[in-house]
Amino acid sequence: MKYSSQMVAKPYFIFALILLAGEILFGLIMGLQYIYGDFLFPLIPFSVARMVHVNLLIVLLLFGFMGVSYYLIPEESERELWSPLLAKITFWVFAVTGVLTILGYLFVPYAELAKMTFNDLLPTMGREYLEQPLITKVGLVLVILSYVLNLTMTVLKGRRTVISIILLTGLFGLAFLFLFAFYVPENLVMDKFFWWFVIHLWVEATWELIMGAFLAFVLIKLTGVDREHIDKWLYLIIAMTLLSGLIGTGHHFYYIGAPSYWLWIGTLSSAFEPLPFFLMILFAYSMVKNSRITHDNAIALTWAKGTAVMSFLGAGVWGFMHTLAPVNYYTHGTQLTAAHGHLSFFGAYVMIVFALISYAMPILRGRPKGNCAKAQKVELTSFWLMVIGMLGLTIALTIAGIVQIELQRIPDSANALDFMSTQARLNWIYYIRLGFGVMVLIGLFTYFYSFFVKEEK
């Protein structure tokens, strides 16, 4: 470790991994509820489990991003973090707010939680991913501000690199767009319209910049390729991301009551969205080919290459499947959407966090060359368990989606099955989904185990 303040990243990494275990656990609970409708009812209703599942996902990714940035920025800026103390305080504020919010979801009825937390004052609750009480949302704004301030001050006082500028651009975007979480128009069409300003413009614009910066950083470290070479790739990826992703928001405006010109705008612009993800594969593999060093931490490179491939599959391929307006007419809100949601979030953002944890954590633990061969082997097993598990879960949901569309969406209204009858016909496939889900959890526990493998002398 070059700068002692990089150490603040460690609790962020550990906490992100613990939250991931919780997230997957709630996924499994819902996987069971799909098969046995009253499993854990009324203790944990499906709606609550779903909210906990997706909220944990967002929070763990934010913890992951923060940990990675606090590790990366000092090294890029060639100086200590502006305020390690602020980063530590931010960690505790965020962790306590996050835990209290999840406990609130689990133990207080949602309407009561809304009353207790001043939702009457400014109603912001009840929208998917943005279910957090007002107090939590305000806390999140403070946490993000303190995080962005800390990084910006470090960059301003130190060396400025393309990687840190792109990372900061992504983070400023993330912070700004979150403000739309406070804007909830009465009109349902407008409500949906602006909801996507947070959701779509996070995952398909600003977070992509963050991911590009993280991937470039870890590739420089592991391959020793020149910065100039990497910077050119980054510019290209970022330009493609913004060109396609910003107007690409239109692929969510097809059938929500927005004007019909969005059918064309959304279709034409979002059709190009897979391109930056494809470029990331070319980027990663060409860096590896031009490698100037052989880093001992081979498993971190496996994660980096895996991220490029899996994000292209989840976002690029599974995204493209339903992004054209005439296709989306049939697929909207089916299990196909859930298939895409799982593989894209996992392949892009969960995996990039894994890649950086696998690179940085051994260094933070005093092992600059990475973990020993045995620990890396255990980690490789965990890599495949999680990747195959998520792919299997996604393919199961894709088949479920296709059957659902056939039964529920294609026939005319006289012959179409209703939602619940369709889901009942799909029971068999939800067993398969559950099986692959269990595999993902075993994979994560194998990853945890790799931390405890004793170093070979």
Amino acid identity of residue 78, one-letter, is E
Among 10, 221, 305, 433, indicate the residue that binds ligand HEM (CB under 6 A). Answer: 433
CB atoms within 10 A of CB 446: 18
- Pick from ligand HEM, Fe ion, none: which does 337 bind, CB < 5 to 8 A by kind? ligand HEM
- Cα torsion for 304, 401, 207, 214, to the nearest 10°? 0
Three-state DSSP state, 58: helix
Q: How many CA atoms lie within 13 A of 180 on its CB side?
A: 19
| Residue 446 engages ligand HEM in binding (rule: CB under 6 A) | no
Q: What is the smallest separation between the CB atom of 45 and ligand HEM, expressed in angstroms?
A: 13
The distance of Cα 34 from the centroid of its chain, to the nearest Å, equals 24
Q: Which residues contact 190 (CB under 8 A, 6 or more apart)?
A: none
C-beta closer to ligand HEM: residue 10 or 342: 342
Is residue 279 within 8 Å of 233, Cβ to Cβ? yes
Query: ∠ at Cα 146 (242, 235), nearest 5°?
Result: 25
Helix extents (H) in 332-454:
335-344, 351-364, 373-404, 419-425, 427-450
Is residue 238 within 8 Å of 212, Cβ to Cβ? yes
C-beta closer to ligand HEM: residue 66 or 441: 441
Q: Which of residues 186-245 bind Fe ion (CB under 5 A)?
A: 200, 204
| Residue 305 engages Fe ion in binding (rule: CB under 5 A) | no
| Residue 274 engages ligand HEM in binding (rule: CB under 6 A) | yes
Q: Which of residues 98-127 bind ligand HEM (CB under 6 A)?
A: none
Q: What is the smallest separation between the CB atom of 74 and ligand HEM, expressed in angstroms?
A: 27
C-beta closer to ligand HEM: residue 76 or 131: 131
d(CA 125, CA 136): 11
- Pick from Fe ion, ligand HEM, none: which does 332 bind, CB < 5 to 8 A by kind? ligand HEM
Stretch that binds ligand HEM, among 212-220, 283-291, 346-354, 356-364 (CB under 6 A): 346-354
Q: What is the smallest separation between the CB atom of 337 and ligand HEM, expressed in angstroms?
A: 4
Stretch that binds ligand HEM, among 140-148, 289-297, 360-368, 430-438 (CB under 6 A): 430-438
Is residue 282 within 8 Å of 312, Cβ to Cβ? no
Residues engaged in binding ligand HEM (CB under 6 A): 24, 27-28, 30-31, 34, 50, 53-54, 57, 128, 203-204, 251-252, 270, 273-274, 311, 315-316, 319-320, 322-323, 328, 332-333, 337-338, 340-342, 344-346, 348, 350, 393, 433-434, 437, 440
